[in-house]
Amino acid sequence: MNRPPLKRFYVKSFGCQMNGYDGERMSELLEAEGMIAAEDAATADLVVLNTCHIREKAAEKVYSEIGRLKRADGTSPMITLAGCVAQAEGAEVLARTKMVDIVVGPQAYHHLPELIHQAASGKVVDIDMPVESKFDKLPARKKVGPTAFLTVQEGCDKFCTYCVVPYTRGAEISRPFSRIINEAHALVDKGAREITLLGQNVNAWSGEDDAGRPQGLEGLIRALDKISGLERIRYMTSHPNDMSEGLIEAHGDIKKLMPFLHLPVQSGSNRILKAMNRAHTTESYLSLLQRLREVRPDIALSGDFIVGFPGETEQDFQETLDLISEVRYAMAFSFAYSPRPGTPAADMDNQIDQGVSKERLQRLQALLNTHQLEFNQQTIGRKTDILIERAGKKLGQMIGKSPWLQSVIIEAPVKIGDMVAVELSEAGPNSIRGRQTESVMA
Ligand code: 5AD
Ligand code: SF4
């Protein structure tokens, strides 16, 4: 097919923050090739769909997304399928649709310029998980806002029985210490004041510092703590079993490490946790949280939950509600279990009726919502800093994040990237109102 020269690209990312990070890096890669970002898919010569496999019926949704890229005049842009669905489907994509030109996995996207070149003479698939790190091949970071993501770890060896990540993202790997520190310096030099370290199992990060000493995530955080100009550090997503005592202590003594932790538990029933292959119990999870609260009493906790896992009884579900009531999460993500092809849980013969799962999910979310509001209400009257990230819906409104990751709306003449002293004044379920104040009490 004859296509106009590739000038404009559009990258559409779905799913987790790690995909968001990959999407940004692919954009930077294409810009380094001289292409420019298009406003939308309709005006792009090259569209990259950076897909997520965690979504329900992920592959089906991707194929209809691809279909929508066909234009009224019968033409379509060059289409690259990236992300976890690309990894999982591989060459199968080319058998299912004629519209896709390039299939590239999350570990191979640094090959994109070369693949685009090859695609001029035929379709290409690259879902290798090469030993060489893609991070070394990517151009320097360009577009940086006040808050930046930095991938430090990828992949997962945990094999929870419901999850596709170990198959789509591969085995756990940690990026080298010095590369991460260099990237953090580059981000701060370009204006980042907050960095969120990303990884599927970010707290499993391990490496060696410049002196050759072995380090865990807390060692990396302590090194980042020394970067002047960097004011806030966060990390996600963590697994309870990799939550070391050293990392817990870091929450007590590193001021830049924000009082927020996303630590998924998935279920409050030990029987279900075992079937999920989570390798922790509700008791071990709760004692971790107790230690965290000892060192950092105001820490905001967040989690992920799956309801309706195969074999989940009303009693198991009740135990999840009990755990939630005990922890009182500041925020949480919750999902009705849905089978992912190729995972052990998909073949379990005690699948739960979808209607039952949906009804449980509603009850669970109602409980989580009351706690989220309660958490926000408790913070009213606190004086703190917010880092301004964007304009609000109404004229004059600006929105920033509190240390506890709440969205705080203020009406004040401030700009994106400002760190503003506020008093939290009014709580809603999803956001808080604040008033600018003079003094800062972190
Ligand atoms: N069904 C429902 N939720 C799932 N998650 C992962 N796999 C599934 C599945 N098969 C959820 C988990 C995980 C989050 C990112 O997505 O809660 O922590
Ligand atoms: Fe998936 Fe479990 Fe690994 Fe998280 S820890 S990515 S849920 S396999």
Question: What's the pLDDT tens digit per position in 73-105?
Answer: 989 999 999 999 999 999 999 999 999 999 999
Outline where 169-281 has alpha helix (H): 177-189, 217-225, 245-253, 270-275
Ligand with the closest atom to the CA of 156: 2
User: Which band of pLDDT confidence, cut at 50, 70 and 90, is reported for residue 440?
Assistant: very low
Give whichever of 13-22, 46-55, 289-298 has the largest mean pLDDT: 289-298
Distance (Å, rounded) from C-alpha 113 to C-alpha 306? 39
Mutate to test the pocket of ligand 1, among 162, 203, 262, 285 (most ligand atoms within 8 A of CB): 162
Given a contact cutoff of 8 angstroms between Cβ atoms, the answer to whether 406 and 376 are in contact is yes
Ligand with the closest atom to the CA of 357: 1
Residue from 394, 396, 392, 391 nearest 413 by CA: 396
Given a contact cutoff of 8 angstroms between Cβ atoms, the answer to whether 435 and 422 are in contact is yes
Ligand with the closest atom to the CA of 15: 1
Backbone angles phi, psi at 354, to 5 degrees: -60, -35
Distance 274 CA to ligand 2 centre (A): 14
pLDDT digits (tens, 9 = 90+) for 210-266: 999 999 999 999 999 999 999 999 999 999 999 999 999 999 999 999 999 999 999
Distance (Å, rounded) from C-alpha 54 to C-alpha 16? 9
Distance 200 CA to ligand 2 centre (A): 7
Of the chain, the percentage scoring pLDDT greater than 90 comes to: 87
Given a contact cutoff of 8 angstroms between Cβ atoms, the answer to whether 203 and 217 are in contact is yes
* Minimal-distance CA residue to ligand 2 atom 2: 160
* Ligand 2 close to Cβ of residue 160 (< 6 A): yes
* Minimal-distance CA residue to ligand 1 atom 6: 163
Distance 158 CA to ligand 2 centre (A): 6
For the question of whether the overall pTM of this predicted structure is more than 0.85, the answer is yes
